[in-house]
């Protein structure tokens, strides 16, 4: 479950979390009439958030994480064996497995 959160949910939500933190920080040098006069920005309702950009950025991050993990994770030490894909034999599914290398 934690792996699912770390690999997919966190990268998807990271842009929205970063946006929320950025909006919550007070800004220096706000223009007159913005915020409460002390440099804080005016409260922006969430319905005005850039949802398309946040969602798109999240999807790009998820794809990047999935691609990186797919290219860097090992399926284990094959040890020179041959992978045999799953197949159907006499109506029964034989799972995929590794056959050891032939003895010389």
Distances (CA, A) of 10 to 17, 23, 42: 9, 19, 28
Axis-axis angle for helices 10-24, 51-72 (nearest 10): 140
Q: Tokens for 21, please give them.
A: 């933190």
Q: Which of 11-15, 32-36, 54-58 has the lowest mean pLDDT?
A: 32-36
Confidence band of 20 (pLDDT split at 50, 70, 90): confident
**Residue 61 token pair:** 């991050």
Using the predicted structure, report yes or no on whether residue 38 has a pLDDT greater than 60: no
What would the mean pLDDT of 42-61 be, rounded to a whole number?
80
Global confidence as pTM: 0.51
Q: What is the pLDDT of residue 60?
A: 92
């Amino acid at each position: 479950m934690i792996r699912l959160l770390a690999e997919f949910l966190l990268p998807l939500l990271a842009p929205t979390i970063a946006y929320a933190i950025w909006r919550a920080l007070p800004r220096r040098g706000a223009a007159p009439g913005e915020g409460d006069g002390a440099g804080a920005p005016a409260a922006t309702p969430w319905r005005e958030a850039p949802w398309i950009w946040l969602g798109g950025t999240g999807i790009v991050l998820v794809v990047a994480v999935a691609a990186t993990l797919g290219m860097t994770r090992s399926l284990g030490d094959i040890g020179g064996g041959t992978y045999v894909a799953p197949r159907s034999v006499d109506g029964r599914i034989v799972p995929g497995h590794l056959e050891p290398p032939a003895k010389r």
